[in-house]
Structure 1
Amino acid sequence: MANPLRAEVVRLYKNLLYLGREYPKGGEYFRARLRAAFSKNRCVQEPEKIRELISRGEFVARELEALYYLRKYRAMKKRYYEE
């Protein structure tokens, strides 16, 4: 029996992998950490625990997006408002 949350987990993994390309320490560093995090929780079977882990992953994705927006904002500010 296939887990109905599998598609959501795969979507989250792909989204995080995409966001990790621009990670400050490098894409390879992020990819290794992401793979380790997902493989550590590979044996989880309870749907509630899987949903909890998915929500944690979505939080990480939002934090990464905020990090990138902040970096973009700082670059624009530096470009236009030299002090």
Structure 2
Amino acid sequence: MTTFRPIGTRGYASVLNTKPTKPAQDLPLRLQAIKLYKELHRLGRDYPDPNYDFNKRLRRAFEKNAKVTDPAILKKQLELGEHIKKEVLALISLKKFRHLRRSYHANEGPR
């Protein structure tokens, strides 16, 4: 089943606009991890610092933990991933806010 996305939606906007078909808790842990990886990868396209190479680090982190099978550890890692997703969304929003503020108030310093 595919999720409808408006044309031109990419990056973090696609993560914000998706409507989950099932609650994340109902999915098996492996599918939750894949879904989280896809969402973080989309967010990585708009990461504020291009020198950080977010998607490369994301891939390494998921590859490093690919062999983990303990459900308790997997749940803990998924919670950490959700926290990172929220942090990245906040960074992207802050970047956009600062860009808009600079374009309208060029002479003011940071608050």
TM-score, normalisation: structure 1? 0.87
Cα distance in 2 between the residues matched to 1:69 and 1:32: 22
**Bigger RCO of structures 1 and 2 (CA < 8 A, at least 6 apart):** 1
| Aligned pairs (5 A) from 1:59-74 | 59-74=83-98
Cα distance in 2 between the residues matched to 1:15 and 1:26: 20
1:2-46 CA-to-partner distances (Å, cap 9, x unmatched) read xx211100000000000000122258x222111110011111111
Aligned pairs, number: 79
Q: Does 1:75 align with 2:99?
A: yes
Q: Tell me what 2:58 maps to.
A: 34
Cα distance in 1 between the residues matched to 2:83 and 2:51: 20
Question: What stretches of structure 2 of length at least 5 have no aligned partner?
Answer: 1-27
Instruction: Say what the alpha-carbon RMSD is for the aligned residues.
Output: 1.4
Amino acid at match of 1:8: Q
Q: Percent identity?
A: 38
Q: Tell me what 1:8 maps to.
A: 32
| Superposed displacement of residue 48, structure 1 | 0.9
Question: What stretches of structure 1 of length at least 5 have no aligned partner?
Answer: none
